Structure 1
Amino acid sequence: MQSNPSKPQARAARPPLILASTSAYRRELLQRLRQPFAVQAPGVDEARRPGEAPRELALRLAREKALAVASAAGPAWVIGSDQVCACDGEILGKPGGFDAALRQLQHLRGREAVFHTAVALVDPQGSVQTREVPTTVRTRVLDDARLRTYLLAEQPYDCAGSAKSEGLGIALLQSVRSEDPTALVGLPLIALCDMLAQAGFDLLADGQA
């Protein structure tokens, strides 16, 4: 039987898009692109390897997170991301509580830190693109009383560097330098949009938004 040339052909379903992260910050950022996606925990060991530079650590973990989820998900587009904060050669992880967060802010006072934010995109065939976007942040010189007030108000204990730039934490910052304003929050959307475009996603196509 011949097909009817006047009948529109059904569009092939695109493999699902998955965010390899349980971070609420990354989920909220990815929602800005108005693409349906699922969320899956990557279950990757985030320990630093001996001698590993902060930038390389961020890139490796972003790649490993995306590949870990892709290996279990079947054909899919998988986004992995990671962020590493470094100040004066020291990596600052998530503080986890008030005391550790206060020590981080005291260490950062008047100093510059670089937040290395990496993103990886795995395609349904298992190929990987990676990008890293650095953000340089200088923190204001503030007394301990003001640092304590901030920490009690926002409790940013799940944030490397102990401040949420998208919230009251902006009051701690003297300057922020980056080519992508979303990188500091945890997912560099400008870089990700470039990667998705190269992969054939048209985020602004009619009917897609």
Structure 2
Amino acid sequence: MLPLLLASSSVYRRELLARLGLPFVCSSPDIDESHRPGEPAIELVKRLSREKALALASSHPAHLIIGSDQVAVLGERVLGKPHTFENAREQLLAASGAQVTFLTGLALLNSQTGACQVDCVPFTVNMRLLDPERVERYLLAEQPYDCAGSFKAEGLGVSLFQSTEGPDATSLVGLPLIRLVDMLLAEGVPVP
């Protein structure tokens, strides 16, 4: 079996991948994550997932490289990582009472053969009505500035949700394990 490499510095993705009980290492790719003009959100996350895996292929020539990227979509608006309190506050207030779809791109690259599987797993969240005070309390407690759409679903972010729907709840945190297992099995990895 080729060794697994997670192309990410995300603690959340690392914790999710560890659930599979397979040995892996992590390395953070250096890519431009800019959204191209007119690029649909689904294509954005698929492209970035693939590019993250490809960016590490030459330095890891005999690995299975996992790349993943996520955005939240509110109507036609793509919500990335807010980076600041003010941006996060604005994102959450805009999402109040609305439906937000998380799109998580996933790529598995066999750097030995060049074969690359790529997919996007959607997960929809129906938001509670949120007032500014509740949003500020959440932001001060959770500080989700590195999370798409300002939602830290593995923490207090779940308290902002009315309901959820989707094929894989782990995609909400940033690494769709059900789809990843399918990809690993297609590469002959003996997943427990």
Q: Under a length normalisation based on structure 1, what TM-score does the superposition of the two structures give?
A: 0.89
CA apart distance, 1:71? 2.3
Q: Deviations over 1:53-93 (max 9, x none)?
A: 00000000001111111122111110000112111111111
Are 1:24 and 2:11 counterparts?
A: yes
1:46 is aligned to 33
| Number of aligned residue pairs | 191
- Secondary structure of 1:117's match? strand
Distance in 2, Cα, partners of 1:104 & 1:150: 13
Letter matched to residue 127 of structure 1:
A
Match of 2:59 in 1: 72
Alpha-carbon shift at residue 167 of structure 1 (Å): 1.1
Q: Partner of 1:169 in structure 2?
A: 157
Listed as ranges, the matches of 1:100-139 within 5 Å are 100-123=87-110, 124-139=112-127
1:164-184 CA distance string (max 9 Å, x none):
111111110111111001000
> Aligned residues: percent identity?
52
CA distance in 2, matches of 1:27, 1:77: 15
Q: CA deviation at 1:125?
A: 1.1
How large is the RMSD of aligned CA atoms in angstroms? 0.9
Larger radius of gyration: 1
Match of 1:160 among 148, 156, 166: 148
Q: What letter matches 1:183 in structure 2?
A: S
2:130, 2:115 → 1: CA distance? 46
Inter-partner Cα distance in structure 1 for 2:123 and 2:45: 13
Which structure 2 residue ranges, 5 or more long, are not aligned? none
Question: SS state of the match for residue 148, structure 2?
Answer: coil
Where in structure 1 are there 5+ consecutive unaligned residues? 1-13, 205-209
